Homo-oligomer: A and B are copies of this chain.
Amino acid sequence: MDGGLKSYLENRRTVINKALDRCLYKSTKYPQVIHEAMRYVVLSGGKRLRPVLVLAAGENVAGVRIPAGMRDSLLMAAAAMEMIHASSLVHDDLPVMDDDDYRRGALSCHKKYNEAIAVIAGDALIMRAFEIAAGTGDCRVIKEIADAAGTRGMIGGQVVDIEPFSRKSKRKEIIKRLDYVHSCKTAALIRVSLRLGAIIAGAKDNQIRAMDRYGKAIGLAFQITDDILDNGADRGINYPGVYGLEASRKKTKKLINEALKSLEMFGKRADILRELAKYIEKRQS
């Protein structure tokens, strides 16, 4: 990883982790178990990709010296995005969904606590995310998050991902399904993170559109590289499983080029987003 990007990510992750700590109730607050569970889920690791993208998009539009009020709003939106993402992982891990006992090397929420707490903790994280996001005072932020996380975005992708599916389906059907899951399940939250940063930073429409294109491209690329690192088609259908490894790498390269192209209007200030895109192409974890 480029040295500038590495120190940027370290710095922003520290800031984001502090914000998340502030946004979550203390685990001593009654009823303790739910506040403990929420902290366990959110604060026990993670790349913080979505909140970093909120900040990076904001800084790309407004510069690094951001007025305090705007920086607070960016952090609130960033924290909200991570909480929404975390809530989806908790519910995804449930036995009736993907049935994963581990997440990020630690016990998943329903294993650490129990299934009822995991259901409720996921709900509580969504509520808290919107409460924090409302602190921006900008209802567009709420709308963007809710739409991207809802049935036209992340949740839509989850639904299609768990739908019964036969490997003997026609290739056309498989591809349609794969495209839908890819553009929704992971990419929708990544894309909206970029949009939020731009909106909060007071971006013009063409700047929001550019951040949107960038977010869509790296979101898809992130999902494909995720599938490649997962070593192919062990569960469900995925990009290397359908197109093969070579074509998947080519597609990633093409998406990253699209992402870089959408940054042309921003000049040098967008260097962090450029490095981030290149990092997603080459990432090994």
- Partner-B contacts on A (CB < 8 A): 25, 29-31, 33-35, 38, 87-88, 91, 94, 96-97, 114-117, 119-120, 122-124, 126-128, 130-131, 133-140, 142-143, 145-147, 149-151, 155-156, 158-160, 162-163, 180
Q: Can you list 27 A-B pairs with a CB-CB distance of less than 8 A?
A: A25-B151, A31-B159, A31-B180, A33-B159, A34-B155, A34-B156, A35-B151, A38-B151, A96-B115, A96-B116, A97-B116, A116-B162, A120-B162, A123-B123, A123-B155, A124-B150, A126-B127, A128-B150, A130-B130, A131-B146, A131-B147, A133-B142, A134-B140, A134-B146, A135-B143, A137-B139, A138-B139
Least Cβ–Cβ distance between A142 and chain B, in angstroms: 4
Query: Are A134 and B128 closer than 8 Å at their CB atoms?
Result: no
Q: A131-B143, A136-B139 are in contact. List 7 more A-B contacts (CB 8 A).
A: A29-B151, A91-B120, A117-B159, A120-B155, A124-B151, A131-B150, A139-B142
Distance, CA A243 to CA B106, complexed state (A): 45
Secondary structure call for the A interface: helix
Chain B residue at minimal CB-CB distance from A143: B134
Question: Which of B34, B130, B155 sits near A159, CB closer than 8 Å?
Answer: B34
Distance, CA A249 to CA B156, complexed state (A): 47
